[in-house]
Amino acid sequence: MIIENIAKNSNNKQVCCLDFLINDVAKASLKQALIIEEVYDKIRLAGLTYCTYKTATLLNSEIKNMLELFELHDQIFLVNGDEVRTLHVTKENVHKLFLN
């Protein structure tokens, strides 16, 4: 409902959104946060949307859910103090790893 309201009031202009609520949802259930992320992905707004998760919240979840979360996003950034780093997650072929 929040995204629909933003879309309705954006007048077809690009928006910049910072989602603070998603971490609170993920504290209770990262799986539920993933469902919200998937719904948003279907009705994506033009512009930038930052989904902010605290590292502790992600580390308390299953690795399967964390990887699914990363796959839903175009880019992943880690913030440490005043440093910002980009995280690249790629799926690798196990056989290829042994051949190299």
**Burial class of residue 34 in the structure, from the number of CB atoms within 10 Å of its CB (0-12 exposed, 13-18 middle, 19+ buried):** buried
The C-alpha atoms of residue 50 and residue 69 are separated, in whole angstroms, by 13
Share the mean pLDDT of the chain: 85
- pLDDT tens for 33-80 read 888 888 877 877 788 888 888 888 988 999 999 999 898 888 899 999
Q: What percent of the chain has pLDDT over 90?
A: 11
Instruction: With a cut of 90, say whether residue 8 has pLDDT above it.
Output: no
